[in-house]
Amino acid sequence: MTHRALRPLARLRRRLNRQTLAWQVSASGVLLTTAAGATAHWAWPSPADGAPAALIALVGGALPSLAAVALATRAMRAQQRITATAHTLRSTHASDDLDIPLTDATADSLQISSALRRMVMAMRKRRQALEALNEALSRRLDARTHELSTLQDLSIGLARQSDVHDLVDEALQALERTLSYSSASLWAREQLRQEGRVVLMGYRTADSVDGDAGDDLTGMRLSRGNLGHYERVERERQPVIDNNVQQSFWSWLLGRVTDDARTSALYRRSRSWMALPLQFHDSVLGVMRVDHDETDFFDEERIRLLTAVGSQTALAMRHAQLAEQSREVAVMAERNRIARDLHDAVSQTLFAANMMAGTLAKTLHTSDAPQARAQATQAQTLERLTQGALAEMRLLMLELRPDAMQGVALGELLRQAVDVLVSRDAIRVTAQIASSDLLSDATRMQVYRLAQEALSNVARHSGATDLVVRWLVRSEHQALLCVHDNGHGFDPEAPKPGHFGLENMRSRARDMGAQLTLDSAPGRGTELRLQIGEPFDAD
């Protein structure tokens, strides 16, 4: 056959390739049947013999064609189902329960549909994993954004505070907005001094603490057991974390019986806790502790958040400390200026007035004038008053300069305080005051403040006419202060609303480790004794 004769066959083949499988099988069957009929006709040209043979050939060719068409139609329908499901899966509203149907029209279709189904399930799992990962990343992003916002608010809030207790409360409030806890507390040494006692600077709880909801624990001391944790953090300058607090019944009972610190109630429900140092350069300003009632609560993210809050708090505490020191320096400079002005002006004037009053009293005593005796008495009173004013002025100048008081012996301070008392009231004072002592500066100032309070109480409340003041020193750690008056006395156990003098004196004695006793009753005067160290015979 020539090339031109093959062109119709080529066009027919291209048209068949563009049709469905069933149509192609049907066309092929028709062509085969036609070809078979034509062959039979050519083989048996006789009309009598050829007609039955052609009919047989046509029927014989048509039956396989119909069977092929049926099989092709079945395969095509399976393909259409797969195609329709694939189009459905492509939709954004497709259900996750929708899968490629398994078709068993032929082994090939079953294999293809199974492979497609596995691929769809794998892609679905991958998509679900990506969605879960995206959701987790979104949550982490929201958490980070909230943390950054909290830290920013914390920085702004801390910048507004100048008082240490206020900024501690601000830090704990900011922490509460980001992290759940059963209690959060901040401990530091008193007045942020290295030698100070560890006290509670501030705290917040999720609920009431063992019935103490109405009592403020701020300023109270740390228990002995928790003091060890504080000192460890202060010494090592590293966070301490316990994510699984275990305590037996007997140790719990022993702690309840022997631990007298009320602040321990903050930690009795704790199952995990973290304590971190509030460090600025090489100084540990305090320790922040956060407790939770769940175990394994403090993971890496929470540790990082608490560390950031602790750093901000430490920086704010240091700034507050520097601001307080700056104010103290400014106040000290102003006090020094006032003390110099008082010394250069008022003290000199009082001294001149005292000298003139003394000279006038002596002159009037030698005069024979009738009114001289009365004028001499007035001059003596003026001399006593100016002498008392000078004593008060000296004490005032010392009060204005606390650094100068540290270099003055306690005996000298007590004598000046007694002189002030004598000049104010008509009271006879018998003083036995040691001229020197070996006490530390801190103890010396505590004793002076306590004696000052006692003498003030005598002048204001006792109504005494005689007073005995004794200050005896035996050694560096052994001394006795005794203040005894013959006033109308009082009941030391009776409540005195609004009066804090006795409680202040008891507090000073506790801070010194001294023993304070007060013996008084209505109508028989008052005796106050401060014993430092071991008792000794005062006589």
Mean pLDDT of 308-329: 82
- The segment with the largest mean pLDDT, out of 37-51, 95-109, 510-524, is 510-524
The predicted structure's pLDDT at residue 212: 46
What phi, psi does 212 have (nearest 5°)? -100, 25
The predicted structure's pLDDT at residue 274: 93
pLDDT tens digits for 273-286?
A: 999 999 888 888 89
Model confidence at 56, pLDDT cuts 50, 70, 90, reads: low
Least confident range from 142-146, 442-446, 508-512: namely 142-146
Mean pLDDT of 199-217: 70
Domain edge (last residue) among 90, 111, 140: 90
The predicted structure's pLDDT at residue 9: 60
The predicted structure's pLDDT at residue 213: 45
Residue 465 has pLDDT above 80, yes or no: yes
* Residue scoring higher pLDDT (194 or 477): 477
Residue 294 has pLDDT above 80, yes or no: yes
The predicted structure's pLDDT at residue 275: 93
Domain count, the chain: 3
Domain edge (last residue) among 63, 90, 117: 90
CATH number, position 317? 3.30.450.40
- Report percent pLDDT > 90 for the chain: 5
Q: Where would I find the beta strands (DSSP E) of 342-438? A: 428-433
Residue 539 has pLDDT above 70, yes or no: no
The predicted structure's pLDDT at residue 211: 42
Model confidence at 205, pLDDT cuts 50, 70, 90, reads: confident
Residue 306 has pLDDT above 70, yes or no: yes
**376 within a domain of the structure (yes/no):** no
Do 24 and 167 reside in the same domain of the chain? no
**385 within a domain of the structure (yes/no):** no
Mean pLDDT of 357-378: 75
Do 166 and 291 reside in the same domain of the chain? yes
Q: Distance between CA atoms of 414 and 412, rounded to whole angstroms? A: 5
Do 168 and 80 reside in the same domain of the chain? no
For residues 315-339, one letter each, b for 16 or more C-beta atoms within 10 angstroms of the residue's C-beta and e for the rest, the string is bbbbbbbeeeeeeeeeeeeebeeeb
**314 within a domain of the structure (yes/no):** yes
The predicted structure's pLDDT at residue 3: 58
Q: Distance between CA atoms of 394 and 405, rounded to whole angstroms? A: 11
What phi, psi does 191 have (nearest 5°)? 55, 25
Q: Distance between CA atoms of 93 and 79, rounded to whole angstroms? A: 23
Do 189 and 300 reside in the same domain of the chain? yes
Q: Distance between CA atoms of 288 and 339, rounded to whole angstroms? A: 42
Do 66 and 165 reside in the same domain of the chain? no
537: Cβ contacts below 8 Å, ≥ 6 apart: none
The predicted structure's pLDDT at residue 171: 83
- The segment with the largest mean pLDDT, out of 89-98, 148-157, 439-448, 511-520, is 511-520
The predicted structure's pLDDT at residue 47: 52
The predicted structure's pLDDT at residue 61: 62
CATH number, position 420? 3.30.565.10
Do 174 and 271 reside in the same domain of the chain? yes
**346 within a domain of the structure (yes/no):** no
**20 within a domain of the structure (yes/no):** yes
Domain edge (last residue) among 261, 286, 321: 321
Do 86 and 168 reside in the same domain of the chain? no
Residue 126 has pLDDT above 70, yes or no: yes
Do 284 and 425 reside in the same domain of the chain? no
**447 within a domain of the structure (yes/no):** yes
Model confidence at 534, pLDDT cuts 50, 70, 90, reads: confident
**311 within a domain of the structure (yes/no):** yes
The predicted structure's pLDDT at residue 289: 93
Query: Could you list the residue range(s) of the whole structural domain that residue 80 is in?
Result: 3-90
Mean pLDDT rounded to a whole number for the chain = 76
Mean pLDDT of 317-331: 80
Supply the DSSP string of 226-295, one letter for each residue: HHHHHHHHHHH-S-EEESS----HHHHHHHHHH---GGGGGGTT-SEEEEEEEEETTEEEEEEEEEESST
DSSP 177: T
Do 310 and 447 reside in the same domain of the chain? no
Model confidence at 239, pLDDT cuts 50, 70, 90, reads: very high
**306 within a domain of the structure (yes/no):** yes
Do 182 and 309 reside in the same domain of the chain? yes
Count other Cβ atoms within 10 Å, centred on residue 21: 16
The predicted structure's pLDDT at residue 63: 66
Residue 99 has pLDDT above 90, yes or no: no
Do 411 and 302 reside in the same domain of the chain? no
